[in-house]
A and B are shown apart, each in its own frame.
Chain A
Amino acid sequence: MKKYTDQGKKDTRSGFGAGLTELGRKNNKVVALCADLIGSLKMDTFMAENPDRFFQVGIAEANMMGIAAGLTIGGYIPFTGTFANFSTGRVYDQIRQSIAYSHKNVKICASHAGLTLGEDGATHQILEDIGLMKMLPGMTVINTCDFNQTKAATLAIAEHHGPVYLRFGRPKVPNFTPENQSFEIGKALVLQEGTDVTIAATGHLVWEALVAAENLNNQGISAEVLNIHTIKPLDEETLLQSVAKTGCIVSAEEHNYLGGLGESISRTLSRHNPTPQEFIATQDTFGESGTPAQLMEKYGLNNKAIEEAVLQVLKRKA
């Protein structure tokens, strides 16, 4: 097995901030907008270094999305920053009409996604955003797994023409992918090769999947781990190659099982290679206050839950 080492826990939102800072220095077409959450989104450095290219819009997300759409007219590449809840559900129609349908080159960058936002509770813990965004024609949907990958993705989406939803989070999570890596939109990464089961994870559950795979290996079960950082477009080729070998799959994400990565995977498999699948995801519920670790435990989103799901899906294998 490959060995992955946590280089020290870091928040993915800081990876976004680091990427945005670098973009500010090397791409003068990149502009950024924030709705009164500069500190939370780690946009401080970009703002300080590029005051002309930074727009504080106040607590007015709908206006922010419209202004971002307008800024593309004239050749700019706007990055909007607010919490995932206010980046999607609150402004769905603005994104739909002024950005997606209008083909505007806006990067919607969303922090504090999912339960692990923690103590603020369900009002802020959106678990439906991947579904909302992936349903919009032409929208690219990315959910990165750690600091380094979030930084790499932030740099990569500036080079991609078209609307992008980039999802990351608040808590510090293991940082285990290489520094200064390249990021290929739509290309899943095989982190661990295995033969008995595929674990397809996105976001910080990729680390949980790696931990689960190691524990399973100790029990004699060989798990293949995929890092599906891009949910749309989904890397169907890598997915199908993996299940052709393993014959069963567990999807893992910090999102409702309705509308998330797991659903995209099952749609692909049902068309090309029907495969037993278990879903590590929230079960059509809202969240609640708690620490990230408590919430991941209670809602079944950690490596233990992944292990149990693997044992379940193995029983269903033909």
Chain B
Amino acid sequence: MPEKHPLQDLVTQTRRDIVRMVHKVNSGHPGGSLGCTEFFIALYHEILEIKTNFDMDGIGEDLFFLSNGHISPVYYSTLARRGYFPVDELNTFRLINSRLQGHPTTHEGLPGVRIASGSLGQGMSVAIGAALAKRLNKDPHLVYSLHGDGELQEGQNWEAIMFAAAKKVDNLIATVDLNGQQIDGPTEEVMSLGNVRAKFEAFGWDVQEIKEGNNLEAILEGMRKAKQHTGKGKPVCVLLETVMGNGVDFMMHTHAWHGKAPNDEQLEIALAQNPETIGDY
């Protein structure tokens, strides 16, 4: 287990990791990664009950599934700094022969990852399956998942959302990253999601909201509350309102950095805004 650091230090360091990783290979998805950094740090350091030794079945611990796999930079940085694999390995992101593929996979045996994701809309079904397995195993731990808001445009989600409510999968907390952006532009313009809360509620979910999705305290409070709502016959959805690109001023409030890497100069600006805390990889 790595030594305990203040969560904010981890957030800042993870932001540095994200921009450095995508800059090095001139590819990857910094915007959504930065927007979800506080969520990942809160989740992996305070919310999830996880075992130190990774095994695929994950019996006796909480599980997390990342459905919007393109935000792999924040996932990899979080997993590495939580002790799943060496932090130095972040150097290999998206390079040939790496376990850190562009989108997360079990194929290269990277500890911490239990399903491939990247082709959108599949993660909720997988999380439901894992939650059903927990139920069969009489394992009281929970299954968490994260989904992009644009990702909800994929129809498979709505099959899964219907199933989870109908079959009372109440050991599942599915979080939607409501940043309002997708590759082609604001979600509202590309394909309006309408009232996401009302949609989940209409399908029979217990919906919680975290309005300040980039505020660690708000996330911790919201996720703890969501946890208290499990086990009551309904799947739990958390609507996490984040700012894409959070923490790097020129990347914020735009879809422009959804899948674009900073150049050398932009990297320096981003790093200056996020001074080194617990040490670069």
Q: A101 to B63, Cβ gap below 8 A?
A: no
Q: Given that A53-B136, A76-B133 are known contacts, is A66 also in contact with B124, CB under 8 Å in the complex?
A: yes
Which single residue of chain B is at the shortest CB-CB distance from A68? B129
Tell me what chain A mostly uses at the interface: helix, strand, loop, or mixed.
helix
CB distance from B238 to the nearest CB of A (A): 19
Q: Does residue B256 face the partner (Cβ distance < 8 Å to A)?
A: no
Q: Given that A97-B122, A98-B126 are known contacts, is A75 also in contact with B133, CB under 8 Å in the complex?
A: yes
17 residue pairs from A and B, CB less than 8 Å apart? A63-B125, A66-B123, A67-B125, A69-B115, A73-B56, A73-B63, A73-B114, A73-B115, A73-B129, A73-B130, A73-B133, A74-B58, A75-B57, A76-B133, A93-B122, A102-B107, A102-B116
Q: A66 to B137, Cβ gap below 8 A?
A: no
Q: Given that A58-B163, A63-B160 are known contacts, is A70 also in contact with B105, CB under 8 Å in the complex?
A: no
Q: A70 to B58, Cβ gap below 8 A?
A: no
Q: What is the interface residue range for chain B against chain A?
A: 35 or more
Q: Could you tell me how many residues of chain A have their Cβ less than 8 Å away from some Cβ of chain B? A: 32
Q: A66 to B139, Cβ gap below 8 A?
A: no
Q: A66 to B160, Cβ gap below 8 A?
A: yes
Q: Does residue A237 face the partner (Cβ distance < 8 Å to B)?
A: no
Q: Does residue B117 face the partner (Cβ distance < 8 Å to A)?
A: yes
Which single residue of chain B is at the shortest CB-CB distance from A53? B136
Q: B57 to A73, Cβ gap below 8 A?
A: yes
- Residues of A with Cβ closer than 8 Å to B? 31, 52-53, 55, 57-58, 60, 62-76, 78, 93-94, 96-98, 101-104
Q: A101 to B159, Cβ gap below 8 A?
A: no
Taking a contact as CB atoms closer than 8 A, the residue among B59, B117, B163 that contacts A63 in the complex is: B163
Give Cα A93 to B122, complex, Å: 9
Give Cα A123 to B119, complex, Å: 26
Per-position contact with A for B172-214: 1 when CB-CB < 8 Å, else 0? 0000000000000000000000000000000000000000000
- On chain B, the residues within 8 Å of A31 by CB distance are 136
Q: A74 to B133, Cβ gap below 8 A?
A: yes
